[in-house]
């Protein structure tokens, strides 16, 4: 059975692959580093559409890929 990757894990993978620090990515998409950390760790129930759109634009990926 394949392991499911969460949106937070996918975001962390994209961040690491881009070589960005958490604080840098958070600043670029308009979040606090702690809020981005909570998303990455799966400590939030959902990710708002505004955040998803900012991430899609930053990483040039689809929302389907993130979710």
Q: Decide: 67 and 14 in contact? Cβ < 8 Å.
A: no
Q: Decide: 51 and 31 in contact? Cβ < 8 Å.
A: yes
pTM: 0.85
pLDDT by residue for the chain (67 residues), tens digit each?
567 888 899 999 999 999 999 999 999 999 999 999 999 898 987 889 999 999 999 999 999 998 8
**Domains, in order of start, for the chain:** 7-66 (1.10.260.40)
Measured between alpha carbons, how far is 44 from 59 in angstroms, rounded to an integer?
A: 21
Measured between alpha carbons, how far is 44 from 58 in angstroms, rounded to an integer?
A: 21
């Amino acid at each position: 059975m394949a392991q499911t990757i969460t949106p937070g894990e996918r975001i962390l993978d994209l961040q690491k692959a881009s070589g960005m620090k958490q604080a840098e990515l958070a600043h670029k998409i308009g979040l606090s580093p702690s809020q981005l950390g909570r998303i990455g760790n799966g400590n939030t129930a959902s990710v708002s559409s505004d955040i998803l759109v900012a991430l899609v634009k930053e990483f040039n990926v689809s929302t389907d890929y993130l979710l």
